[in-house]
Amino acid sequence: MSYHPEINHIQMDCGHLSFIANSNIILLRIEANYYMEQADSLSVRKNLRILAAQKESPVYLLVDMRQIKGASAAGRKVFADKEEPLAEVCALWVKSPLSKLLGNFLLGINKPVFPAAVFKQKEKAIAWIQEQIKE
């Protein structure tokens, strides 16, 4: 039997995925000034599942979009796909007026099928995700 080390971090063009310490919550940190296209969103979805499988966990996601430049309509559509949801729970961590606007736009226009919310503080976002997991 061959040994497969646990994957804790996945680097992608748009950013990287990693577990938040001592949790099953995955952090997606989007690169500064990055514009998300459909291919990026599909890569994120695929890699989220690979990472979550390491802990045999559903995808609980915190997206650090504090420095995002934007996202195409096709990229946003992947985020809200009802057939293949991105996550069980997703919190969007924002900083600038632009990232807050984009986060609220994603939630308002694309209406994901999973609980999702926008937060300015990482700690509040994590606490909200943990509450959603308990429910």
Chain segment 19-43, per-residue pLDDT in tens: 998 899 999 999 999 999 999 999 9
Does residue 1 surpass a pLDDT of 50? no
pLDDT of 99-114, one tens digit each? Answer: 677 677 777 766 777 8
pTM across the whole model = 0.87
Would the pLDDT of 135 be above 80? no
Q: Is 94 exposed, middle or buried (0-12, 13-18, 19+ CB in 10 A)?
A: buried
Distance of CA 66 to the CA centre of its chain: 12
Q: Compute the average pLDDT of residues 59-88.
A: 88
